[in-house]
Amino acid sequence: MILFVRDLTVIDFSYLCPQRGLLGESFIVDVELHGGLDATSMVLDFAHVKKLIKKAIDSLVDHKLAYPALHSAISSHKAGETEVLSLQSQRGQVQIASPADAHVAIPADKVDETSLTLFLQQQIKPLLPDNVQQLLFVLRPEKANGFYYHYSHGLKKHDGNCQRIAHGHRSTIEIYQHNMLSPRLNKYWTERWTDIYLGTAEDQVQAAECQWLQPQDNSHFFRYQAPQGWFEIALPVSHCEIVPCDTTVECLAEYIANTLQALEPAAYKVVAYEGVGKGAIAFA
C-alpha cells in the first residue's frame, strides 16, 4: 500500500555551491509512505504525516545553510557553539559563522535534490512506525513561467529561524509599469539579483570587527547578534547587494519599487515573492 501527500511543505534554505557560491532555494516536498496497514487500517494517519514528517524536515533543513561535507572546496570547524564554514567557489571565497544549529552537513559532494532527498529519507525513516517499510520524498522547485531569482539573507530582528544569516529562497517576481506587466523590468531585476546575497546596510562591518572570519579582499562583511546568537558572513562584492532596509519581503518589494521609480519615473506595482505562494505587493 502507498500513502502519499502532495505539497506537504516547502523547504526554504540556502546552500553552498562550489560553482555559484551561496544560493537561496525553495523546494516543494511530496512524500510517499510504502507499507502495510496498522491496527487502525492506515499506513499512517495523515495528521501524523503532516505533524511528524513536516516537523522533522523543518528541524533538519528548513531555514538552514546546507553544505556538501564531502567536497574539497568546503572547510568547517567548531569554535565552541559556533560553526565556521569556508567555501572557495568560482565566484570567490564565502565565509560564514553561525550557531551550529543554523547549518546542516549533507554527506555528499554537492547539495541538490538527489542528495537532500537521500539525506531526509535516511534521517526520518527511523522515526516512523514499523509498518512503514519505505519512505520516499520528491523535492521540486515551483514551476515558474515567468522570472525568478535565488537570494539569501538574514533577519536579525526575527524571533524565529529567519534570523539565521544565510538562509534563502527561490522567488518569482512580477513588475507592472502603468498597470502592464513588464518583461523588460522583470528580466532586469532577475539578472540584477541572480544568486545574490542581500545584506542590510546597518549590519555591514569591517573585517576586523568579525570574531571568526578571516580578512579577504574585495568582500563585504556583515555581523549581527540575534536571539539565537552571533552571526557573521563575508562574500565577494559581486555576490552582494546592500540595501538600506531590513530584507523582509515587504521591505524588498518597496525597495524594488522605489529603485525603479528613481531610475525611470512611472507608476509601478511590484509583486515580490518569498519562496512559494507568499510575498508582498508594493506601489510607487
The mean per-residue pLDDT over the stretch 2-25 comes to: 97
pLDDT at 257: 98
Percent of residues, the chain, with pLDDT higher than 70 = 100
Amino acid sitting at position 128: L
Residue type, 13: F
Q: Measuring CA to CA, which residue among 41, 54, 39 is closest to residue 5?
A: 54
Q: Using pLDDT thresholds of 50, 70 and 90, give the confidence band for residue 108.
A: very high
pLDDT at position 48: 86
* pLDDT tens readout for residues 140-187: 999 977 899 999 999 999 999 999 999 999 999 999 999 999 999 999
Q: Whole-angstrom Cα distance, residue 123 to residue 76? A: 22
Helices (H), 69-155: 113-124
User: What Cα–Cα distance (Å) separates residue 89 from each residue in 24, 92, 154, 225, 255?
Assistant: 15, 5, 21, 27, 29
Q: How far is CA 254 from CA 2, 82, 245, 251, 282, in A?
A: 46, 34, 10, 5, 5
Q: What is the pLDDT of residue 67?
A: 98
Give the span between the Cα atoms of 167 and 62, in whole angstroms.
Answer: 8
Cα separation of 218 and 209, whole Å? 16
Question: pLDDT tens across 119-139, in order?
Answer: 999 999 999 999 999 999 999
Cell of 174: 512580477
Taking the C-alpha atoms of residue 83 and residue 103, their distance in angstroms, rounded to an integer, is 8
DSSP class per residue in 2-37: EEEEEEEEEEEEEEEETTTEEEEEEEEEEEEEEE--
Of the listed ranges 45-59, 170-184, 220-234, 262-276, the least confidently predicted one is 45-59
Give the pLDDT confidence score for residue 165 in this predicted structure. 98
Q: CB neighbours of 207 closer than 8 A, spacing ≥ 6?
A: 213, 214, 215, 216, 219, 221, 234
Closest CA to 80 of 95, 96, 99: 99
Whole-number Å distance between alpha carbons of 153 and 8:
24
Residue 284: pLDDT over 90: yes
Beta-bridge partners for 270: 175, 282
* Burial track 82-93 (b if 16+ CB lie within 10 A, e otherwise): bbbbbbebebbb
pLDDT at 270: 98
